């Protein structure tokens, strides 16, 4: 009996996920609510609430899934990793699907994407922290700079239609970050 319930829960969560991804990819952010999502997923609203307390909890869950995929890519990098490496992972991982790209780039989802960015930065610093000599507050400022510069560059690349080859973007953004950060790491 429990195995059947587990499979049903898995199927239900997958249906919710699939409906959510479809709606994000259709750029219907104003239509993403529990009523429309459950209709598309083919489930009852009460069933949704068995899995999530609110629509924001679903967003958080989806961002956690994206973060986990990013973490797996970063963990493949040799230590210490460079900003070229991290830039490549950021651009290539987020460009794999329209879904992740939209979650990062659509202004409607900026609160959620900023949470995801903060989570990924924290993860990266647990693996490799070249700013250990600085106070936690100064590390936060440095990380905010690196994070925001990376994301602004990524969003601009997407907004420009990805006309610049990813390898060229990685070299330029990686160099800007590496050179700028190196100026304080080597003090």
- What tokens appear for 161 in the block? 């239609």
| pLDDT, tens digit (0-9, with 9 covering 90-100), for 102-128 | 888 888 877 777 777 777 778 878 888
Q: What is the pTM of this model?
A: 0.80
| b/e 43-66 (16+ beta carbons within 10 angstroms → b) | beeebbeeebeeeeebbeebbeeb
| Domain ranges for the chain | 1-52, 60-185
pLDDT on residue 186:
59
Specify the fold of 1-52. Arc Repressor Mutant, subunit A (1.10.10)
Confidence of residue 21 (pLDDT cuts 50, 70, 90): very high
- What tokens appear for 92 in the block? 């290539």
Q: What DSSP designation does 82 have? A: P
Average pLDDT over the chain, rounded to whole?
86
Asked whether the beta carbons of 148 and 53 are under 8 A apart, the reply is: no
Confidence of residue 140 (pLDDT cuts 50, 70, 90): confident
DSSP-H helix ranges across the chain: 2-25, 34-41, 45-51, 55-74, 83-94, 98-105, 110-127, 136-159, 166-185
Share of the chain above pLDDT 70, in %: 93
């Amino acid at each position: 009996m429990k195995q059947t319930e587990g499979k049903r829960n898995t199927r239900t969560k997958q249906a919710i996920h699939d409906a959510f991804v479809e709606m994000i990819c259709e750029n219907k952010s104003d239509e993403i609510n529990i009523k429309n999502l459950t209709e598309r997923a083919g489930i009852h609203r009460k069933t949704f609430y068995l899995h999530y307390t609110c629509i924001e909890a679903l967003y958080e869950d989806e961002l956690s899934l994206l973060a986990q995929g990013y973490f797996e890519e970063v963990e493949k990098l040799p230590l210490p990793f460079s900003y070229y490496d991290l830039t490549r992972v950021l651009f290539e991982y987020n460009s794999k699907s329209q879904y992740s790209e939209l979650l990062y780039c659509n202004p409607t989802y900026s609160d959620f994407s900023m949470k995801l960015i903060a989570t990924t930065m924290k993860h990266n610093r647990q693996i490799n922290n070249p700013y250990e000599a600085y106070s936690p507050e100064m590390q936060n400022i440095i990380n905010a700079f690196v994070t925001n510069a990376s994301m602004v560059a990524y969003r601009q690349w997407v907004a420009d239609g990805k006309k610049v080859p990813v390898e060229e973007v990685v070299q330029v953004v990686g160099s800007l970050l590496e050179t700028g950060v190196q100026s304080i790491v080597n003090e």
